Amino acid sequence: MTPYGKPLPVTDERNRPFWEGARRGELCLQRCVGCHAFRLPASRYCPGCGGDGSEWARVTGRGTLESFCHFHKAYFPGFEGEVPYNVAVVRLAEGARLFTNIVGVANDRLRIGMRVEACFDPVTPEVTLVKFKPAGAPAARSVE
Amino acid sequence: MPDKRLSRRTAVVGVGTTAYGKLPEHDAYDLGVWALREALDDAGLGVADVDGLIVNRIPDYQRFGEIIGLNPRYASITPGQGRFSGHCIETAVAVIDAGLATTVALVYGNNGRSAGDRYGGATDAYGSGGAGFWFPWGMTSPGAFHALMAQRHMHLYGTTSDDLGEVAVTFRRHAALNPSAVMRAPFTLEAYHASRYVVEPLHLLDYCLINDGGVALIVTSAERARDRRKPPVYIAGFGQALQLADSTFPPDDFWRAPMALVARDVYGMAGLGPADMDALMIYDNFTPTVLFALEGFGYCPVGEGGRWARGRLGLGGEFPTNTSGGHLSESYMQGWALNAEAVRQLRGECGARQVAGARHVHYMACAPMVTSIVYGSERG
């Protein structure tokens, strides 16, 4: 089997729950216990209210495609065979945003405003990436 | 907001620029010294006349001061991001007004091309410092960030690739008239479309040119400026505003909120508006930011930048813009060379690309830090 050549996440104490959630097939975000706002990237203090307390909570995984682009240049090893690949900004129903990839739809069918939902791509035994697919489409998982 | 009485209280009295391109025998310090010597000579001053030092992109202010043998009364250094060029110039005005220094040398030196600087991939730190979190999805580079913004602008307002290409074609036409420009061969809109995509919808020709080079400016009070070698170019208005909240992601409003604040300040201080400007210098890291700035600073209605800009930004047009060729075709000197070009236009030093009778030139940069400066050739 070809070793996985793409960049792997650099996990730390602060963002580990995100990656652990993904491995379980759950999209989890940090939530302020004071004002209940979700946030990503993780931070000690809430950008909205300044609160110090936070917890990690599962979100619906439903969102909207806010924008997308297609990388024709492979800046990282492992992507050479996949250009052009898409990178998208998804705004979740809970308000937070993330950069991700949209799967299960051809690049030329991506449309800003389309509804998407989280799906989970186990790229290595340890790491699962949260990606998105058009809402209601069958799950698209990478082949082991 | 900045105090309106600061209008035309300070002036640029010297500008210096190095050659641009691949200059492997010079490091960032050397490029800074080269530019500073040119600027001091331009002003008819010596190093001993400088009592304030602001450096950008040069790694260390202490070493730079040591190299030029300077013991200033004020010094500062900022991150090496291009958005800081306007910030540094505005700081010089405040420093002079506060009496911290009388004559400030602003020095920029960048050996990025020879040093092999990369704006995407493993060393990418664009954004709010957390770029690495997104590498597993293949997200990286300021170019991609702006591609995402461009795509959304196209979706919301009908902006087209032709609109972006027109900006690139126009600035290259200007560069053809600038002996210092790195890329001078004009190209057509067809050639623009044929150029490869880097991060679609942006083509290679939508990207600025990473090069080696240096720029220096000497800023002093209007009183002191009268006695210098060349006519003063007054800082008539300036402003700054930042949008840092949620800035990991592309801004929903294309930075219009901070631009609106800065526009109010810069026009209010200068006592001028868009219609008074003879030339524009717009921070063009990528073509879309030119359109965002034109909209944010009130040159055209929101969303209409692409259509509006067509035919208006060229020499001989309504608002000649980036007459040097800008970052897209002269060299990516991170805003500094655009400010130098503004000064030279107002002095009438621009030769074949001179805007006849230019009296007011407007610099603007849109990014998470928005800055803008209006330069004027007349004191009042």
Whole-number CA gyration radius for chain A: 16
Task: Let me know: does B178 contact B330? Beta carbons within 8 Å.
Answer: yes
With H, G, I as helix, E, B as strand and everything else as coil, classify residue B117.
coil
In A, minimum Cα distance to B152 occurs at A67
Q: A116-137, pLDDT tens digit by residue?
A: 999 999 999 999 999 999 998 7
Asked whether residue B177 is domain-assigned, the answer is no
Q: Quote the pLDDT of residue B356.
A: 97
For residue A110, the SS3 value is coil
- What is the domain-level CATH number for residue B342? 3.40.47.10
Residue type, B73: R
Verify whether the Cβ–Cβ distance B141 to A75 is below 8 Å: yes
- What is the reported pLDDT for A139? 59
Nearest to B204 by CA among B212, B216, B221, B192: B192
Q: CA angle B246-B250-B256, nearest 5°?
A: 90
Which residues, 6 or more positions from A139, have their beta carbon under 8 angstroms from its beta carbon?
A: A104, A119, A133
Q: How many CB atoms lie within 10 A of CB A16?
A: 13
Q: How many CB atoms are located within 10 Å of the residue B303 CB?
A: 16
How far lies B83's CA from each of B78, B89, B233, in Å?
Answer: 10, 11, 22
Cα(B197)–Cα(B199) distance, integer angstroms? 6
Residue A72 is nearest to which of B122, B136, B199, comparing CB atoms? B199
For residue A1, name the pLDDT band (cuts at 50, 70, 90). Answer: low
| Count of domains forming chain B | 1
Q: How far apart are CA B349 and CA B301, in angstroms?
A: 33
The model's pTM is 0.96
pLDDT at position B167 is 98
Beta carbons within 8 Å of B241's beta carbon, 6+ residues apart = B257, B258, B259, B261, B262, B265, B370
Q: Is the pLDDT of residue A37 over 60?
A: yes
Q: Chain A within 8 Å of B139 (Cβ-Cβ)?
A: yes
Is residue A77 exposed (0-12), middle (13-18) or buried (19+ Cβ within 10 Å)? exposed
Indicate whether B202 belongs to any domain: no
Residue pLDDT tens, chain B, 380 long: 889 999 999 999 999 999 999 999 999 999 999 999 999 999 999 999 999 999 999 999 999 999 999 999 999 999 999 999 999 999 999 999 999 999 999 999 999 999 988 889 988 888 877 889 999 999 999 999 999 999 999 999 999 999 999 999 999 999 999 999 999 999 999 999 999 999 999 999 999 999 999 999 999 999 999 989 999 999 999 999 999 999 999 999 999 999 999 999 999 999 999 999 999 999 999 999 999 999 999 999 999 999 999 999 999 999 999 999 999 999 999 999 999 999 999 999 999 999 999 999 999 999 999 999 999 999 87
Does residue B136 belong to any structural domain of this protein? no
Exposure of A40 in the CB half-sphere (CA atoms within 13 A): 27
Pairing label, strands B103-111, B52-56: parallel
Nearest to A10 among B132, B155, B202 (CB): B132
Confidence of residue A140 (pLDDT cuts 50, 70, 90): low
A69:B197 CB<8 A: no
pLDDT digits (tens, 9 = 90+) for A67-87: 999 999 999 999 999 999 999
Q: What does the block give as tokens for B97?
A: 């007004």
pLDDT at A137: 76
The residue type at B355: V
Range of the structural domain that residue B293 is part of: 4-115+209-376
Question: What pLDDT shows up at residue B144?
Answer: 98
B197 in contact with A, Cβ within 8 Å:
yes
Cβ separation B137–A47 shorter than 8 A = no
Give CA angle at B232 (B228, B237), nearest 5°. 145
Task: Give this complex's ipTM.
Answer: 0.96
**Residues of B whose CB is below 8 A from A67:** 148-149, 151-152, 155, 250
Judge whether B311 lies within some domain: yes
What is the C-alpha separation between A25 and A19, in angstroms, rounded?
10
Q: How many Å apart are CA B294 and CA B291, to the nearest integer? A: 5
Q: What 8-state DSSP symbol labels residue B57?
A: S
Answer yes or no: is B344 within a domain. yes
User: What contacts 24+ positions apart, CB below 8 Å, involve A104-109?
Assistant: A104/A133, A104/A134, A104/A137, A104/A138, A104/A139, A104/A140, A105/A133, A105/A134, A105/A137, A107/A70
Instruction: Report which residue type is found at B313.
Output: L
d(CA B54, CA B32): 11
* Count, residues in chain A: 144
Residues paired with A69 in a beta bridge? A87
For chain A, the average pLDDT equals 94
Torsion angles phi and psi, residue A19, rounded to 5: -75, -35
What's the angle, vertex CA B335, arms to CA B330 and CA B338, rounded to 5? 55
Cα–Cα distances in Å, from A35 out to A31, A38, A39, A47?
Answer: 8, 9, 11, 10
B275: β partners: none
User: Closest Cα partner for B251 from B137, B128, B145?
Assistant: B145
Closest CA to B294 of B254, B245, B323, B236: B254
pLDDT at A143 over 50: no
Whether residue B282 is contained in a domain is answered as yes
Paired tokens of A92: 């979740």
Q: B250 to chain A: which residues are within 8 Å by CB?
A: 66-67, 89
In a domain, B354, yes or no: yes
Residue B219 contacts residue B89 (beta carbons within 8 Å): yes
- Residue A97, amino acid: R
Please tell me if residue B151 touches chain A, with a CB cutoff of 8 Å.
yes
Distance CA B251, CA B260 (A): 14
Max Cα separation, chain A? 48
Give Cα B41 to chain centroid, integer Å.
23
